[in-house]
Structure 1
Amino acid sequence: MHLFLNAIAASAASGFTYVRNVVPHLMRRPDVKSTVLTSELLRDEFSDTSNLKFLVAGEGWSAARRSWFEQRELPKLLHSSRADILISAGNFALRGSPVPQILLSGNALYFCDDFSHDLIRRHAYRAWVDLKIRAWLAKRSVHWSDCTVAPSQAFADKLRNRSSAEVVAVHHGFDEDLFKADNGPLPATLESKLAGGTGTLRLFCVSHYNYFRNFETTFRALSLAQKQLPTKKVQLLITCELKPSAETGSYDPRRAAVLVRQLGIEENVLQLGVVPYRFLHHVYKACDVYVTASYAETFAHPTLEAMSCELPIVASDLPVHQEICSNAALYFPRFSPELLAQRIVEIATTPALRTRMTKAGQDRIRDFSWKAHVDRLITIGTEMVARTRPTLRTIQNGSPVERQSDHLYTG
């Protein structure tokens, strides 16, 4: 089977992480030939092999230009590569694909009423319009594909509730060795920020600033937890800064910064800024509890990182959090700072609870494998090819003759 992975939409950190983890396992499948369409940035990290070839698309393309390229040029690339199946990463499918298509759908915002209402509440009307356009395309993409793959059962169920198309859940994996591979010294600025945490209850949240991570609920909970633990400093470490920047994009963090000042917790919020992935495990290990008040998720990869570093988790009660974290987390209603603070205090004051949760996390982390993820995708693709391989008609001596297709592409 020849698999074609369209990964040019992998432009954010999560997209890069996905491609970096999937490609090595495709290389290890000699029974599968793969072509990967990606950006120049990711292309430089890999070399072609006997069973895997890279194609490069333009770097830094807008969503509109990328979509135009996919709809106009991708069919030609599928034809020339003689691919049997297309895997479309990045939430949007190729309309009228000439070969069976698997869509990887992984953006909960396109299907999240909370996010839509949040944008209106913040008067972010341009972002709301953009969301509605993208959400329409994402929903249509589910119908354009032959099978949609979601990274969690919870998100798959949500997609099924909004579509009659075929949707299956295939968990993402986690490579603990890769995550903890860097044992070198930390950059001096990061090491300086992490110093001096003795006797402090450190909470950690990994995310660039955005609205759906629900920072405001976390900040209010931090203030409440500090009042309930007056003899101990409670500190929240975040991997962003509460000021407009290239990282925040269209999200405006100034309201969140004002809230921090109003709550009087400036000294309790440690703004690390962007932390390179290879250094993240050091930050986890410097903390005591991982917290996430997110109201929209499809997989919640940082919770796996937290489990790997033996941190108990306090997470909003989204079905996806409960699916991924299981007994490694305590849960709270996503917009309740009071109950988030209560869960934090429970862990801080109950050592036995913390021990049980970290043990549960160590057990749970073993259930997530990138090899299993890739193997499952290949199995789905193989079954689709077997179901849909057509009998084509060719011309010999002026007469039509039935023949079995070597490839699904019909020209």
Structure 2
Amino acid sequence: MRIFIDALSAKAGGGITYMRYLPKALASIDKDSDYFILVSKRYQKGLIQDLPSNFHYYQVDIPSKPVIIRLLWEQFVLPLILLREHADLLYVVTQTACFLSPCPVIIALRNPNVYADFSQLIGFVNKMRRVIQRLITELSVRKAAKVIFVSESSMKQAARKIPVPASKRVVIYHGFDHSFVLQNPSLPSNLSWLGQKDFILCVSNISRHKNYPTLIKGYSLLLKQAMAEQTPDLVIVGGISDQRTYTIIMRLVHDSNLQERVHLIGAVKHSTLPSIYKAAKLFVLPSLQETFGHTLIEAMASEVPIVASDIPVIREICQQAAVYFDPNAPDDLRAKMEEVLSNSRLREKLIQKGLERAKAFSWEKCAKETLAVFKEVYNAAKGRS
């Protein structure tokens, strides 16, 4: 098979993690197929790694913004490349298909915003952007031979908003690189203070659906109702995906006089994350929406107890390895953080459950299941059973 993987949409968070590990895992199990991975030479150089000779990086000169440039390139230039290279299959790691593709297309529906309720969005432009995004996704589903979801919960939630035939649906969990916890780099000098105090950790990009205002409010309540001097600081790791949300967070921090207790340290190198997790006292994920939540597995594998939003996908991923709170109730978050921080027996139980649950995820398993989908679609296109 000659398989093209369109990775141009992978810019941050789970998309980067996915494209950092999936090609490597596929390379370990598939020596026969030829893979061509589309990346931008402008903003995705970090994704390029040494792989076997049957893997090729197809670098294109496309900027990260505006997104419309990438979309137009994928719709009108990519089909010509696929035709010229005699591609057998195109896998797009996001929800937008290449509509003129001369070969079968597989898409991955990993963006929760596509099927989320957008009635609460502020501004006509934002609402229209979401309407158009959903329409394009619906058309992409029609074009696709298969639609990959990264959790059962996200598949069920998407199916309520977007008609995805059952015959096209496939659930494949993301994997986890278990060598992550074996890395033992020292904290960089600008973050060395993290090794000198207890802290509550949240690792996630700053965007609206990550629900950071509830985290800040819940933490503020924790400081007021617990002994403030014994309460760990709050550390947030993640780049800014939504400037409006970042502004709201900073205003909350200022209005609550938390400048000395809440630390937004931005994005960090992936190699720095293990040392940050290992130093954390508690991990909190307050999201309103997720499709998977890779940082949950990182926290579980790093022996950090978890307090997380009580939403279906997080329960699916963590199962009994987390304490859950109502994501719309800051005081419930406060109570659950206080409970875990003060109960050593509960902390140890969560740590052990987390270590066991993390074993269920591997990139080898993810690659095997993904390759099986590739072969199924390829054989169907060739008229084979």
Q: Provide the TM-score with structure 2 as the length reference.
A: 0.91
Corresponding residue for 2:202?
205
Which deviates further from its counterpart, 259-268 or 148-157? 259-268
Which deviates further from its counterpart, 313-322 or 274-283? 274-283
2:53 maps to 1:55? no
- Structure 1 SS opposite 2:95: coil
In the TM superposition, residue 160 of structure 1 has moved relative to its aligned partner by 2.5
Q: Which of residues 248, 258, 267 in structure 2 aligns to 1:255?
A: 248
Corresponding residue for 2:196?
196
In the TM superposition, residue 44 of structure 1 has moved relative to its aligned partner by 7.2
Q: Distance in 2 between matches of 1:79 and 1:89?
A: 20
Q: Distance in 2 between matches of 1:307 and 1:341?
A: 21
Corresponding residue for 1:374?
367
C-alpha distance after superposition, 1:212-240 (max 9, x if no partner): 11111111111222233226223211125
Corresponding residue for 2:146?
147
Which deviates further from its counterpart, 35-44 or 100-109? 35-44
Answer whether contact 1:39 1:56 (CA < 8 A) is retained.
Answer: yes
Corresponding residue for 2:103?
99
C-alpha distance after superposition, 1:374-399 (max 9, x if no partner): 111111121122223159xxxxxxxx
Corresponding residue for 2:233?
235
Change (3 A) 1:12 1:43: closer
Counterpart of 1:224, as a letter, is L
2:310 maps to 1:317? yes
Change (3 A) 1:312 1:256: same
- Structure 1 SS opposite 2:57: strand
Counterpart of 1:298, as a letter, is T
C-alpha distance after superposition, 1:176-213 (max 9, x if no partner): 21x34653433211113x1531xx4x211112322111
Change (3 A) 1:87 1:222: same
Counterpart of 1:77, as a letter, is I
In the TM superposition, residue 334 of structure 1 has moved relative to its aligned partner by 1.3
Q: Distance in 2 between matches of 1:54 and 1:91?
A: 21
Answer whether contact 1:209 1:251 (CA < 8 A) is retained.
Answer: no
Q: Distance in 2 between matches of 1:375 and 1:226?
A: 47
In the TM superposition, residue 250 of structure 1 has moved relative to its aligned partner by 4.2
Counterpart of 2:237, as a letter, is T
Answer whether contact 2:75 2:98 (CA < 8 A) is retained.
Answer: yes
Answer whether contact 1:127 1:250 (CA < 8 A) is retained.
Answer: no
Q: Distance in 1 between matches of 2:171 and 2:159?
A: 11
C-alpha distance after superposition, 1:33-58 (max 9, x if no partner): 21211122337733463322221112
Listed as ranges, the matches of 1:216-231 within 5 Å are 216-230=213-227
Q: Distance in 2 between matches of 1:195 and 1:227?
A: 25
Q: Distance in 1 between matches of 2:132 and 2:301?
A: 38
Counterpart of 1:172, as a letter, is H
- Structure 1 SS opposite 2:16: helix
Corresponding residue for 1:10?
10
Change (3 A) 1:154 1:85: same
Corresponding residue for 2:49?
46
Listed as ranges, the matches of 1:239-388 within 5 Å are 239-240=237-238, 247-388=240-381
Which deviates further from its counterpart, 41-50 or 328-337? 41-50
C-alpha distance after superposition, 1:337-360 (max 9, x if no partner): 111111111112221111111111
Q: Distance in 2 between matches of 1:54 and 1:3?
A: 12
Q: Distance in 1 between matches of 2:50 and 2:271?
A: 22
Counterpart of 2:232, as a letter, is V
Structure 1 stretches lacking a partner, 5+ long = 242-246, 392-411
In the TM superposition, residue 109 of structure 1 has moved relative to its aligned partner by 1.0
- Structure 1 SS opposite 2:346: helix
Corresponding residue for 1:176?
178
Which deviates further from its counterpart, 356-365 or 155-164? 155-164
Structure 2 stretches lacking a partner, 5+ long = none
Q: Provide the TM-score with structure 1 as the length reference.
A: 0.85
Which deviates further from its counterpart, 314-323 or 86-95? 86-95
Superposed structure 1 runs of 4+ greater than 6 Å apart: none
Q: Distance in 1 between matches of 2:236 and 2:46?
A: 30
Q: Distance in 2 between matches of 1:254 and 1:219?
A: 13
2:87 maps to 1:83? yes
Which deviates further from its counterpart, 19-28 or 362-371? 19-28
Root mean square deviation, CA, Å: 2.1
Counterpart of 1:15, as a letter, is G
Q: Kindly tell me the number of residue pairs found equivalent between the two proteins.
A: 376
Counterpart of 1:101, as a letter, is V
In the TM superposition, residue 279 of structure 1 has moved relative to its aligned partner by 0.5
Listed as ranges, the matches of 1:124-143 within 5 Å are 124-143=123-142
Q: Distance in 1 between matches of 2:343 and 2:51?
A: 52
Change (3 A) 1:274 1:11: closer
Counterpart of 2:74, as a letter, is E
- Structure 1 SS opposite 2:308: strand
Answer whether contact 2:89 2:105 (CA < 8 A) is retained.
Answer: yes
Listed as ranges, the matches of 1:58-73 within 5 Å are 58-61=61-64, 62-73=66-77
Higher Cα radius of gyration:
1
Q: Percent identity?
A: 28
In the TM superposition, residue 27 of structure 1 has moved relative to its aligned partner by 2.0
Q: Distance in 2 between matches of 1:276 and 1:181?
A: 16
In the TM superposition, residue 125 of structure 1 has moved relative to its aligned partner by 4.1
- Structure 2 SS opposite 1:272: strand
